[in-house]
Structure 1
Amino acid sequence: MRVEDLILWLAWALTLAFNAYSEMGKLGGMNNAEISGQVHSWFTPAGYAFSIWGLIYLGLAVWLFFFCKSPVGRKPVWHMPMSASGLVFVLSCLLNVAWLTVWHMELFVSSIVLIVSLSITVWSLYARDRIFTRQVTDWAPLSLYGSWLLVATLTNCWYVLLRAHQSWEGSVPVQSLVTLALLLALILVSYLMRRLLGDWMVGLVVLWSGIAIGVKLMGQSAPMAVAIIILTTLGAIVIYAPWKRILTKA
């Protein structure tokens, strides 16, 4: 095993362990759900949706396995036993840990800076893999991770705004408009990724998130919950419809 391979697997394992530690409520005395529950945000998926983190870390393990087997894109940086991609992956692990730490310390503005930085880091790895290879095992795990981070970033940003403007929490028009706007933005991004890059993973994550947001809203505003679920379903149809075939027949 190369030195870089060992470092990458250690970074993955430590990040996974830290996530589990924080979710057990050991970091700051609260888990993520308890912190999120401090603010009444409509744009928050139901608790079950966060189980996707398990799939994300499994996907990253698959990505690491194939990355460590491949010599592509592994040119050492300076005199270090690390490639540029390896360094970026380690950076993503450090940012993940830092983000969770400041989130549990309730330094929410700092958490936004960190989760945006983490998202940029993960998507830069994704871009590298789309350049060097088209193997699904090389880009799909990163797309899964990056897509969920996109949802999390929007969720966290709206959470911070609600903390700053508490009157918005009880405003049905504000909560409705923002939730619909953010969901539409995610659907648009998913559509563009599917059409331009052939990336089907982003849409699946948005479908998962949108349905979960609707499920969570059922106990607060059933009409809005139904609207969110319908919009998400229609968005998925638009994203995955075989438009070339349809337009050709037309």
Structure 2
Amino acid sequence: MLRILIMTFSLIAVVAVNVAANIIPFNGKTTGEIANRLPVLFTPASYVFIIWAVIFMLLAVWIYVHSRRGESTDLYLNNWRAALFVFSCLLNISWILLWHYTFFNWTIVVMFVLLLTLFALYSTYPKQESRQFERLPISIYLGWIFVATIANGNYVLTFHEWNGWGLSNPLWTVISLSVATAIALHFLYHYKDRALNVVFMWAFIGIAVKNGVDELFVSSAALFLTAVIGVSLFVLKKPH
């Protein structure tokens, strides 16, 4: 019971900090306003970030499932999952504070550690298709943090006026989209994870919408790679 209470409090704290960051807002700017200060082409349209509401709701269900089934399953595994989840919540809160108070270099460090933490949590679930629903909230969360990590990295590089080894901003963005696609397909092939791939598609469409005809190269690439992932969901043969 204590484990569930700590997990519940951690989730409530994350939701509260994320909401407060945009209502108060911290340091006079909302999370989105800071993101839109720089011309980062990998940033999706604002509506895409509604996925956070979906993630938080699914995590609430995930905690509820733990509360109902935790005592009948492996205690060590449940405690390990709880510890990873609580740590991920602390990292999420830390990222928000660092982002709003412009410690952008540190946001990269925190985001990367969050990514590793969620992957460790994700890896506690078996790969069998029959068990995929159990890891669904973590799949969607992990998928979004992959996207957010790449976007965060692009933001920090733009903040420091990095020239992308002489590559243009649109070309560098397409390379980032291609890397993201490779990650998504890796999880589809090796982990049979469709939900995570749908998150990438959602983000890519948002990137295309954000860039529109002004950055047609980026928009076209984002839609093309969305289609690649979409087709792969149906035709890619998965190992048994």
Q: Greater shift after overlay, 90-99 or 216-225?
A: 216-225
Q: Which amino acid aligns with 2:115?
A: S
2:225 counterpart residue number: 231
Of 183, 187, 196, which residue of structure 2 is paired with 1:202? 196
Normalising by structure 2, we get a TM-score of 0.90
Of 74, 79, 92, which residue of structure 2 is paired with 1:83? 79
Of 183, 204, 209, which residue of structure 2 is paired with 1:189? 183
Aligned CA distance change for structure 1 residues 209 and 132 (closer, same or farther; 3 Å): closer
Q: Greater shift after overlay, 226-235 or 59-68?
A: 226-235
Aligned CA distance change for structure 1 residues 87 and 179 (closer, same or farther; 3 Å): same
Q: Greater shift after overlay, 59-68 or 221-230?
A: 221-230
Task: Give the secondary-structure state (helix, strand or coil) at the position aligned to 2:87.
Answer: helix
Q: How many percent of aligned residue pairs carry the same amino acid?
A: 26
Matched, 1:154 2:155: no
Deviation sequence 1:164-200 (CA, Å, 0-9, x none): 11667xx9x5212211111111111111211111111
1:241 counterpart residue number: 234
Aligned CA distance change for structure 1 residues 126 and 223 (closer, same or farther; 3 Å): closer
Q: CA deviation at 1:234?
A: 2.7
Q: CA deviation at 1:224?
A: 3.4
Task: Give the secondary-structure state (helix, strand or coil) at the position aligned to 1:17.
Answer: helix
2:210 counterpart residue number: 216
Conserved? CA contact 1:217–1:225, under 8 Å: yes
CA RMSD of aligned residues (A): 2.3
Conserved? CA contact 1:73–1:132, under 8 Å: no
2:126 counterpart residue number: 130
Matched, 1:93 2:94: no
CA distance in 2, matches of 1:14, 1:192: 33
Conserved? CA contact 2:189–2:236, under 8 Å: no
Q: Give the greater-gyration-radius structure (CA).
A: 1
Q: Which amino acid aligns with 1:90?
A: V
CA distance in 2, matches of 1:18, 1:47: 19
Q: Which amino acid aligns with 1:146?
A: L
Q: CA deviation at 1:241?
A: 2.8
Normalising by structure 1, we get a TM-score of 0.86
Runs of at least 5 residues in structure 1 that lack an aligned partner in the other structure: 77-81, 246-250
Deviation sequence 1:88-114 (CA, Å, 0-9, x none): 111111111001100101000001100
CA distance in 1, matches of 2:62, 2:39: 36
Q: CA deviation at 1:206?
A: 0.8
Deviation sequence 1:225-245 (CA, Å, 0-9, x none): 2332123223321x2132449
Conserved? CA contact 2:181–2:225, under 8 Å: no
Q: CA deviation at 1:136?
A: 3.1
Task: Give the secondary-structure state (helix, strand or coil) at the position aligned to 2:20.
Answer: helix
Aligned CA distance change for structure 1 residues 151 and 25 (closer, same or farther; 3 Å): farther
2:50 counterpart residue number: 51
CA distance in 1, matches of 2:230, 2:174: 15
Q: Which amino acid aligns with 1:161?
A: L
Q: Which amino acid aligns with 2:109?
A: V
Aligned CA distance change for structure 1 residues 18 and 162 (closer, same or farther; 3 Å): same
2:37 counterpart residue number: 38
Aligned CA distance change for structure 1 residues 227 and 244 (closer, same or farther; 3 Å): closer
Runs of at least 5 residues in structure 2 that lack an aligned partner in the other structure: none
Q: Which amino acid aligns with 1:192?
A: H
CA distance in 2, matches of 1:219, 1:39: 19
